[in-house]
Amino acid sequence: GSGIQYETGDHIAIFPENETDVVKALAKRVKADLNKWIRVEDDNGEAPFACPTSIKDALTKFLDINAAPSKSWLTRMAQKAKKKEHKDRLLHLTGTDPVRREDFRKHVTVGLRTVLDLLNEFDSVEFTLEDLIEILPRLQPRYYSISSASNSTPNSAHVTALVEKTTTSDGRVFKGVCTNYLNTRRKGEKVRAFVRTSNFKLPSDPSTPVILVGAGTGIAPLRAMYLHLEKCRSDGGVLGHNLLVFGFRRKDHDFLYREEIERMESNGTLTSTVLALSRQPKEEKKYVQHRIIDIREKIHEVLQAGAHIYVCGSNDMAREVRDSFGIALAMFLGLKADDYVEGLQLDGRYLQDVW
């Protein structure tokens, strides 16, 4: 966006806003006028969010109305239920024995129910705006790896994210707050955000080889890196051997940035790209950790040339990738392979961007 300053590899924190229709429905359920203004203070006399504010802004910008309900919420709802069957059911779901814990897990957690869903289900619960403000957590910023390069698009930060939208078994639609918020913004609309610096940075010398490993939307900061290197190359810089290991399900519908990656290969920014396909018809299931072992000779060769490794994905994926590098290098380094990988980490040559 306008005025943004970042470096390739940084994160962006985005303050989402709750969906207007859900805000209106929740306000109606607790008989609150969205146009009225409120001032809120905690027990220490401090405001938990910017006050005074309108009820509309409180429910849209400051309260996480999509948060997963806790058992304490249900206890409070039970206290305010006018129908005995509603009170009994809510108290049942707060129980600590295995049967009731499983009922809570299935109905609330797996069922993706929000506070509005529960208030609609138990319509005798007389909840107020004050109840909502007391139980709901604050709406937190969501952090994303920036997927653009600061040397090619310095005034524009890109985000690569999966828009979460799930239809439950009873027909309700559960939406991820931030991805759906971003997905419904129009060009030119302002979004509240800030940049968080990261140590997930390319070597200062663009001729240093890199090994980029990511799966799914974990391609985000790796995309930023190959775009950064492409700009270095177009500015006359000499690049090293740059290897991308990218995992996803199927070529025909999960290959993010396919044309762009193919362009990177054809123009020499990426020396080679290795794909790990986990759901490709008629092919063996492969994840990035398997492919690292498959191409161990290339991995060893590029590391001997001084390569830096960058891994982006879930914590579980990153842990398995780290183990795979040890396995891959054991063929060449024997029992010293794990010590070598640990040395890369200590030297800042093995960096991770994980969640």
64 is catalytic: no
Radius of gyration of the chain (CA): 25
- Structural tokens at position 310: 């960058």
User: 174: which strand partners?
Assistant: 166
For residue 197, how many other CB atoms are within 10 A of its CB?
11
For the chain, list the strands marked E by DSSP: 11-14, 37-38, 53-54, 142-145, 165-167, 173-175, 193-196, 210-215, 242-248, 272-277, 308-313, 350-354
Measured between alpha carbons, how far is 178 from 111 in angstroms, rounded to an integer? 20
Residues 274 and 175: beta-carbon distance below 8 Å = no
DSSP string, 149-191: -TTT-TT---B-----EEE-TTS-EEE-HHHHHHHTPPTT---
From the list 148, 198, 278, 312, the catalytic residue is 312
- Structural tokens at position 83: 């129908």
70 is catalytic: no
User: Dihedrals φ, ψ of 294, to 5°?
Assistant: -60, -35
Q: Pick from 221, 284, 219: which is nearest to 245 by CA? A: 219
From the list 10, 57, 131, 353, the catalytic residue is 353
204 is catalytic: no
355 is catalytic: yes
Distance of CA 132 to the CA centre of its chain: 26
- Structural tokens at position 119: 């208030």
From the list 131, 145, 150, 232, the catalytic residue is 145
b or e along 247-265 (b: 16 or more beta carbons within 10 Å of the residue's beta carbon)? bbbeeeeebbbeeebeebe
**Which are the catalytic amino acids?**
145, 312, 353, 355
